[in-house]
Structure 1
Amino acid sequence: MTLAAEAAPQGPAETSSVPPANTPSLVGLTRAGMAEALREIGTPEREIRMRVAQLWHWIYFQGAREFDVMLNVSKTMRQKLAEHFTLARPEVVEEQVSTDGTRKWLIRMPPVDRLDKGAEVECVYIPESDRGTLCVSSQVGCTLNCTFCHTGTQKLVRNLTTQEIVSQLIAAREMLGDFPGLTPPDNGLIPSGEGVRAVSNIVFMGMGEPLYNFENVRDAVEILSDGDGLSLSKRRITVSTSGVVPEIERLGAEAGAALAISLHAVRDDLRDKLVPLNKKYPIKQLLQACRDYPGASNARRITFEYVMLKGVNDSPAEARELVRLLKGIPAKINLIPFNPWPGAPYECSSWDTIEKFSDIVFNAGYASPVRTPRGRDILAACGQLKSETEKLRARARLAALD
């Protein structure tokens, strides 16, 4: 059956049934997850494929918040869905808007089980004139302890589910008025115009190491790139890793996302300090995994991220060594001015130093853009994300003492 195979659309149903507390949301589920949810409420097997297609369109393309608006779904089915499920999104606890238009949201997820108190993560929206990039989180906290990264100072709480990862985009698109019928906010730059989407790119560069949550990240990429729903090109979905070598080939083969490597050093002794994961997977192993990455080509280059730390990794000799190491890899190098945070042990390289480093890399034939810091004033720039959970709990404790 097709989406239009049922009786002519009826008016909005009076779905007065109120689902009980902790009713699961369908937002963020995979197609298989939706199919299983429908089976659990007794949907005939012959209808499952059609029902999933209907829900998929309304949830991911239309951004529906209520089952009542699904007018190509029968009234009886809408009522049944409303009795057993919701279309709830995570709660946007706080929004901060930078002077440059960058937006940072603190998002609270509902508990996944009775032991979970609900995860809180940060995601960031970076607008430009012709695109908008959403930086999503894959874990609550992080295990990597990279010494230049604020997020790394927070302990790992847990992995985010596929549903929680996808829900970050759903929440962001609602906040930006990026679903049909919604109005964009009038404060700050948001790309607009015919054929321009407020969110056109996704980067897994928020909280956590994506490849330590591989299955959920892989399934999230599938939902994000599904052409019948959110419809983001896999070329515009980038997964950044600090170097979990065994999962890199799987990422290319099973997800097909663009790859970014958080490199930051050209010698193992230094990278061991900056990115402790290097002790397990040293530079030679990491770069070989990049050479073998499925789909890598001059048209789909691997991005190497290199944070510029004053007097640590920013010499001309290190720029030349970087070029030597990357020989034969279709690559571009993003040079990232260090973004300070309270108590940070490093300083940013001078602009003159960064330009000299960039010139050496560029003259060797590699694109070497210097990433313009965005959202520094709201601690939303690269390496600055850290969940507000601890801060909010501290405030609650202080309030309890008053």
Structure 2
Amino acid sequence: MEQKRHFSINLLEWYDKHKRDLPWRRHRNPYYIWVSEIMLQQTRVDTVIPFFNRFIERFPTVEDLADAPEQDVLKCWEGLGYYSRARNLQAAAKQVKELHGGIVPDDKASVFALKGVGPYTAGAILSIAFNKPEPAVDGNVMRVLSRYFLIEEDIMKGSTRAFMESLVVELIPDGRASDFNQALMELGALVCTPKSPHCLTCPVMEHCSARQEGKEEQLPIKTKAKPPRPEYRVVALVEGRGEHSGRVLIRQRPQEGLLARMWELPHLQTPAARSGRLPDEPAMDILAGALLEEGIAARPIAHLTDAEHTFSHIHWNLQVYRCREEDLPQAAELKAMYAAGDSGEPSVQTEYRWIDEQDMQHYAFPNVFLKILQNYFKHSSY
């Protein structure tokens, strides 16, 4: 009991003096807190701040987000990754508008019912925005609790999370749920870090069981996730001619699945070479044939660049080739059917567009294609 009391008192004293000035902390606006928590999933605070400010400026209220075109929301999220977060956030905003009059609810059942809101996010909204004594247990919190209380159970297990949630409820002081949960997260982010924790500056060091046992570097116990499987893809950056001069060809991804409804350069999966990269000539032949099958008359000219992109379960290795539009009969029709398969290729009629650099502001691209296009237009004298 003494260990728990010491933890809560000293943690809050430290937080009151050292908490960071973050834009979503300047107001107790539930919508701001909700947006920040969704953005902070799998993303660092420093990265999130400019995205948060831009997002709130563009969509200052729940109603603004609910009513916005999806492409505007995705464009505002562009570069932050994990785009299903943005889609779920907008879907939940529509729920709040329709079911709660545009006011973020403050009861557990209603918050849990929102699209994309799980136990952690619900706890964060209820505790931070409404000061309700609900646990908000994320990776930072689990690391702190594992070390301080010497919890040597796998934090990937649901039973371990449930135990930690009940522990947090015991630790929350009366009337300070908002500050306490933020303090826990802050301690994990700034002091009780994954590697080389700053124990000597930790406000709860004196009663930390892991430090007393010399196990602070060994905790938490966490089952290693399977590495993402590699996929090898060839990408066509098709330069237009004639009426399309100065433009490049992009396509929209399918309505569902990976990167749904976002825009990209045409590409396809290829068999993996031993080196992980196909020789240029075979890769260009594969690309040329695939483009013709799609009704795209274009000829690969030269290798342009290589790129990589990692999803939670897939790692793309991309070979990008500069291609040139050709005057062939197939060029009249740029909408085509893609073969369905496990590779994540479009399986319905696909929409293509010719765009120039200024047009990019109207389309949301995954970060890997955004960077390729930005670099291409920057050096468009290729």
Q: Tell me which protein shows more helix as a share of its residues.
A: 2
Bin for the TM-score computed over the shorter chain: under 0.3
TM-score by length of 2: 0.26
